[in-house]
């Protein structure tokens, strides 16, 4: 481990007052989400039954570049922000690369990940509109833990549907949600129509994010004063996460450098967009040459091997149709450890950006991701979340290229969370029980055929 580390913090006054809405600056706007029945473009009002109104408007807002962060949310950000921007001397040294590597450390939030940035905002708007109950789904539990926390902050009751296999195999995050007072139900459950339908057909179904979303959306639709919230994919979630990149922009300035390459791990796109979009603004408006790389797991490669199509966001088809890179809403990813990255589709903004070649994507195998995570832990002293390991692996790939070419590129990646609550995954890796997973083209095509029928 290097004995040197440089951390950059912002003063309280420099914590952003606005989120950045990249939709306003995009030349090719994302295609509109469609009402699944009428196939007509969605209006904000169509989303009112599910989400807080303000969030519905943020979702479809393609005109306002800056959205003010409510004072109460900003006060809560101050509990853990600014998060440090760190120059990773230890990792650079371990790799012997001339590249300068920086990471934004979102793991310092009280629940250990970036998810709180949007959970606080969503809970706040719900509370403002007189909502009393909020619901959501979660996989490994990072998002669920954030939402349980945010619900407690703003005095709401939270009900979380957790993917059953995670509920059983990773009880720590379930206990965190319960400690903050949330009701946690393993999904699929017999508590919803969607859950019953699946369990009747497949009694031993282990759950998926798509299924859990169906259950949570159904609960929101059928319960008075209850709204649904989501931890990634949607444009308003990514909007809230831009606080990461906005801080990073100022902190890189403090460091006297500007990133040539920016990397985020990729599930639905919110932490990736969160760190990239404020920088991408300069690419769109000023032609700044920066590469933006989404690092997704090879077992769930929607960006690198999926298809750009209108598809549902959930298994049961309750959500609007979204124009996105998808593996098909029935796609059941292999049981790998990148919990939060196992979603079948990408958000509509990142999908459009990828189509327009404003960003790139790379798929990372499971063993490479843990190799990267262990090297990072040993060189920087922080054990990264399995999700974040994908970003680290991609950063290492780029740093190794610099080693070959001798280029001193500046690489910035988002450390979306720590792995202290994911040690069972590390345990399996260290004991040699993990392997890579190859996904056949046939399997991908089979799922996408379903999408063509929509």
Query: Within 13 Å and on the Cβ side, how many CA atoms surround 306?
Result: 34
Shortest Å, Cβ 362 to a copy of itself: 24
Q: Are 410 and 103 in contact (CB under 8 A)?
A: no
Shortest Å, Cβ 382 to a copy of itself: 5
Q: Are 375 and 2 in contact (CB under 8 A)?
A: no
Two structure tokens written together for 68 = 């003010």
**176 touches a copy of itself by CB under 8 A:** yes
Among 8, 102, 277, 426, binds a copy of itself (CB under 8 A): 426
Two structure tokens written together for 26 = 């995009």
Comparing CB distances to a copy of itself, the nearer of 178 and 223 is 178
User: What x/- string results for residues 326 through 365 when contact with a copy of itself is judged by CB under 8 A?
Assistant: ----------------------------------------
d(CA 421, CA 430): 16
Among 160, 234, 265, 421, binds a copy of itself (CB under 8 A): 421
**103 touches a copy of itself by CB under 8 A:** no
Residue 133 has φ and ψ, to the nearest 5°, of -130, 140
Q: Cα dist. 237→46, 60, 74, 192, 234 in Å?
A: 18, 12, 16, 25, 6
Among 17, 39, 43, 78, binds a copy of itself (CB under 8 A): 78
**17 touches a copy of itself by CB under 8 A:** no
Based on its alpha-carbon atoms, the radius of gyration of the chain, rounded to whole angstroms, reads 20
Q: How many residues bind a copy of itself (CB under 8 A)?
A: 40
**72 touches a copy of itself by CB under 8 A:** yes
Comparing CB distances to a copy of itself, the nearer of 173 and 409 is 173
Only one of the segments 16-24, 173-181, 199-207, 328-336 lies at the binding site for a copy of itself (rule: CB under 8 A); that segment is 173-181
- Residue 157: Cβ within 10 Å count: 16
Among 356, 381, 407, 435, binds a copy of itself (CB under 8 A): 381
Q: Are 214 and 315 in contact (CB under 8 A)?
A: yes
**250: part of which helix (H) or strand (E)?**
helix 235-255
- Residue 453: Cβ within 10 Å count: 5
Q: Are 345 and 327 in contact (CB under 8 A)?
A: yes
Binders in 358-377 for a copy of itself, by CB under 8 A: 374, 377
Among 35, 169, 175, 191, binds a copy of itself (CB under 8 A): 175
**Is the sign of the CA dihedral 212, 214, 215, 219 positive or negative?**
positive
Among 5, 62, 128, 223, binds a copy of itself (CB under 8 A): 5
Only one of the segments 69-77, 95-103, 350-358, 359-367 lies at the binding site for a copy of itself (rule: CB under 8 A); that segment is 69-77
Comparing CB distances to a copy of itself, the nearer of 168 and 408 is 168
Among 28, 43, 64, 110, binds a copy of itself (CB under 8 A): 110
Among 17, 64, 356, 430, binds a copy of itself (CB under 8 A): 430
**126 touches a copy of itself by CB under 8 A:** no
Only one of the segments 55-63, 150-158, 220-228, 407-415 lies at the binding site for a copy of itself (rule: CB under 8 A); that segment is 150-158
Tokens 């912002």: give the residue.
10
d(CA 297, CA 267): 9
Query: Within 13 Å and on the Cβ side, how many CA atoms surround 174?
Result: 16
d(CA 111, CA 359): 30
Two structure tokens written together for 97 = 């690369």
- Residue 274: Cβ within 10 Å count: 31
**233 touches a copy of itself by CB under 8 A:** no
Name the DSSP letter for residue 205.
Answer: -
Among 64, 75, 168, 438, binds a copy of itself (CB under 8 A): 75
**420 touches a copy of itself by CB under 8 A:** yes
Only one of the segments 207-215, 339-347, 406-414, 420-428 lies at the binding site for a copy of itself (rule: CB under 8 A); that segment is 420-428
Among 62, 178, 225, 283, binds a copy of itself (CB under 8 A): 178
**93 touches a copy of itself by CB under 8 A:** no
Comparing CB distances to a copy of itself, the nearer of 124 and 272 is 124
**47 touches a copy of itself by CB under 8 A:** no
Name the DSSP letter for residue 41.
Answer: B
**423 touches a copy of itself by CB under 8 A:** yes
d(CA 338, CA 370): 10
d(CA 121, CA 117): 7
Query: Within 13 Å and on the Cβ side, how many CA atoms surround 74?
Result: 13
Residues within the interface to a copy of itself (CB under 8 A): 1, 3-5, 7, 72, 75-76, 78-79, 108, 110, 112, 149, 152-154, 171-176, 178-181, 374, 377-378, 381-383, 420-421, 423-424, 426-427, 430
């Amino acid at each position: 481990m290097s004995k040197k580390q440089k951390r950059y913090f912002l003063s309280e006054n420099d914590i952003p007052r606005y989120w950045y809405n990249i939709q306003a600056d995009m030349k090719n706007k994302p295609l509109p989400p469609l009402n699944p029945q009428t196939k007509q473009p969605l209006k904000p009002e169509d989303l009112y039954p599910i989400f807080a109104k303000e969030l519905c408007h943020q979702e479809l807002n393609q005109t306002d570049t800056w959205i003010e962060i409510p004072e109460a949310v900003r006060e809560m950000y101050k509990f853990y922000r600014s998060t440090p921007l760190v120059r990773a001397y230890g990792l650079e040294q371990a790799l012997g690369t001339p590249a300068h590597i920086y990471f934004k450390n979102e793991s310092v939030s009280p629940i250990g990940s970036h998810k709180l940035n949007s959970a606080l905002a969503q809970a706040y708007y719900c509370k403002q509109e007189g909502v009393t109950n909020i619901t959501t789904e979660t996989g490994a539990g990072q998002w669920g833990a954030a939402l349980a926390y945010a619900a407690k902050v703003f005095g709401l009751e939270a009900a979380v549907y957790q993917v059953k296999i995670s509920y059983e195999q990773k009880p720590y995050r379930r206990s965190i949600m319960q400690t903050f007072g949330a009701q946690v139900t393993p999904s699929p459950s017999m508590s919803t129509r969607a859950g019953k339908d699946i369990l009747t057909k497949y009694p031993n179904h282990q759950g998926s994010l798509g299924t859990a979303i169906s259950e949570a959306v159904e609960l929101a639709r059928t319960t008075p004063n209850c709204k649904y919230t989501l931890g990634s994919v949607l444009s308003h979630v990514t909007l809230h996460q831009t606080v990461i990149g906005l801080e990073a922009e100022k902190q890189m300035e403090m460091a006297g450098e500007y990133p040539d390459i920016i990397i985020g791990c990729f599930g639905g796109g919110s932490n990736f967009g969160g760190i990239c979009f404020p920088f991408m603004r300069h690419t769109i408006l000023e032609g700044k040459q920066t590469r933006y790389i989404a690092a997704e797991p090879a077992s769930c490669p929607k960006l690198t091997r999926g298809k750009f199509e209108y598809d549902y966001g959930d298994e049961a088809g309750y959500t609007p149709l979204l124009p996105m890179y998808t593996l098909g809403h029935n796609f059941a990813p292999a049981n790998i450890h990148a919990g939060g990255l196992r979603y079948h589709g990408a958000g509509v903004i990142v999908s459009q950006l990828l189509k327009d070649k404003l960003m790139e994507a790379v798929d990372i195998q499971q063993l490479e991701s843990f190799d990267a995570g262990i090297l990072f832990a040993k060189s920087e002293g922080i054990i990264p979340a399995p999700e974040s390991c994908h970003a680290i692996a991609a950063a290492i790939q780029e740093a190794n290229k610099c080693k070959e070419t001798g280029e001193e590129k500046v690489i910035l990646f988002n450390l979306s969370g720590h792995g202290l609550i994911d040690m069972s995954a590390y345990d399996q890796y260290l004991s040699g029980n993990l392997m890579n997973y190859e996904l056949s083209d046939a399997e991908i095509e089979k799922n996408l055929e379903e999408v063509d029928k929509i």
